[in-house]
A = this chain, B = another copy of it.
Amino acid sequence: MIDLWRKHFVLTESMLEMECTCLTPAAVLKTSGHVERFTDLMVRDPETGECFRADKLLEDAIDDLIASEPTMASEQREEHLRIQRQADAFSPEELDKLLLKYDCKAPSGQPYSQAFPFNLMFKTSIGPEGTSVGYLRPETAQGLFVNFRRLLDLNAGKMPFAAAQIGLGFRNEIAPRSGLLRVREFCMGEIEHFVNPDDKSHPNFKSVAAKELVLFGRDDQLGSGKTKTLSVGEAVSTGLVNNETLAYFMARTQLFMEKIGMDPTKLRFRQHLKTEMAHYACDCWDLEIKSSYGWVECVGHADRACYDLDVHGKATKTPMLATVKLDTPQDVEVAKLKFDRKALGKTFKKDQRVVSGALEALAENWEDFAKVASDLETEGKTVVDGFEITKDMVTWKKTSKKVHEIKFTPSVIEPSFGMGRVLYSLLEHSFYQRESDEQRCVMRFNPQVAPNKCAVLPISSGEEVNAMVSQPGCISLRMRTQTSQISWLWF
């Protein structure tokens, strides 16, 4: 399945592929916001100290309530289900209230403690001194972000482009359960597609525009509770899905699922609620797959905007920029600077290059430089990147310049696959019982993902077959001995 994934996404679209480490220095995950915000809300049983995931308790309580009152009016039931669908988007205070409202009690019989955030990353210490903290990566994406400049170089500076990574992710789940669906160590396949934030079109969009998807938009989740079936083209033109690239990957994911043998009637894309999304994200759609555990999110599709590259660029003082050539050069207003190197050197010593560099960067666009200019004129000084600049250090002239390219921090559009969840769902979708006899269970795999291939050959004890079978080659094979050697089983 992973092989097929690599072919369907990485090779077909000429993506770059990279393998980063699982152990990640704390600095990277502090910058990305994971150290502070990668949390689930947890409650404790005040008597035993046992911990529970607050949103799952709420979901279960609503299931129980609905099951216990079969005569409940459908409107009322819809209202409960609406709350259930938002379970992981509530604030701690809201959850506290709802747990009270639904009368959730801890196993000891007491009410739960207040909900509090619990960080889901595994922490360890790196090196012999024990002074540097590391985490096991909760997603593979950060490795690609911090290597963005290398990836861009490898792609000869061309935009847009994508980089993929297949590898392990780790989350210290409060309550692992449901087989492969909620585990603490799992295989992910992530693609980071880097794109100009002002142009999120996709060159191959036409090839999927007619493909129909089952979409469960934000408004429908809070309103009708019903899904819509739309072509990808319509979804983008009506504004339901934010942009072409995001929609393109949703369609490619749908095609992948159909290719490996998933039941298309059990697939839907659910949009994140505003309260569910990170503050920087533009739009997020989860592919949910239906199994005996209900609808389970298996693939995320997120437009993460410029957030990640921006924060890493700032934290490391290494701008993560891409350039596009303009078809026709544009005139832009810039400031032409002249430094008094002596004055700069006296004040900033070895930092003088940093200071002049920061000013040069601002000067590339008069709009950015205007405030510095007016501050220096009126106050005689200003602050840039924490350095106090005075009037004697620099003079400038407003002028115009022809530019042939523009620089920008790329936006990132990310499809992120939970391989274990996809695999588990596929096993369920491939399983059936024969109509005539429930005891006869079948796993019917699509040949492309079937783990074993077999051939039925005529019985033969001839030299030729024996020689072929005993010769160590590149095919692993086994003889089937149970049924008097009627057949050979190959795999």
| Interface, chain A (partner B; CB < 8 A) | 7, 10-15, 21-23, 42, 49-51, 118, 122-129, 134, 136, 168, 170, 172, 174, 184-185, 204, 207, 472-478
Contacts and interface: CB of A to CB of B under 8 A. Distances in A.
19 contacts: A7-B474, A11-B475, A12-B473, A12-B474, A13-B476, A15-B476, A21-B185, A22-B170, A23-B122, A23-B184, A23-B185, A49-B129, A51-B127, A51-B129, A122-B134, A123-B124, A123-B125, A128-B172, A207-B472
A172 B127 contact: yes
Contact of A124 (B11, B50, B124, B472): B124
A10 B185 contact: no
Nearest to A170: B23
A49 B130 CA distance: 11
Nearest to A52: B128
Which interface residue of A11, A13, A123, A134 has the most chain B CB atoms within 10 A?
Answer: A11
A85 to B, nearest CB: 24
A270 to B, nearest CB: 27
Count of chain copies: 2
A118 to B, nearest CB: 6
A13 B124 contact: no
> What 5 pairs between A and B have smallest CB-CB spacing?
A51-B128, A11-B476, A12-B472, A122-B124, A128-B174
A10 B475 CA distance: 10
Nearest to A134: B122
A170 B24 CA distance: 13
Contacts of A10: 476
B476 A12 contact: yes
A42 B136 CA distance: 25
A425 to B, nearest CB: 19
A167 to B, nearest CB: 9
A21 B183 CA distance: 10
Given A22-B22, A118-B128, 10 more contacts: A7-B474, A12-B472, A14-B477, A14-B478, A23-B122, A51-B128, A122-B134, A127-B172, A128-B172, A168-B168
A72 to B, nearest CB: 33
Nearest to A135: B124
B126 A172 contact: yes
Given A22-B185, A23-B170, A185-B22, A129 B50 contact: yes
A469 B474 CA distance: 31
Contacts of A13: 472, 476
Contacts of A170: 22-23
Which interface residue of A7, A23, A128, A170 has the most chain B CB atoms within 10 A?
Answer: A128
A477 B15 CA distance: 10
A22 B129 CA distance: 23
A373 to B, nearest CB: 43
Given A51-B129, A124-B122, A129-B51, A11 B474 contact: yes
A125 B42 CA distance: 17
Nearest to A15: B476
A253 to B, nearest CB: 15
Which interface residue of A123, A174, A472 has the most chain B CB atoms within 10 A?
Answer: A472
A260 B123 CA distance: 38
Contacts of A49: 129
Nearest to A472: B12
Nearest to A482: B156
Contacts of A172: 126-128
A104 to B, nearest CB: 17
B124 A476 contact: no
Contacts of A185: 21-23
Contacts of A51: 127-129
A14 B129 CA distance: 45
A49 B475 CA distance: 55
A184 B126 contact: yes
A122 B13 CA distance: 38
A176 to B, nearest CB: 9
A181 to B, nearest CB: 16
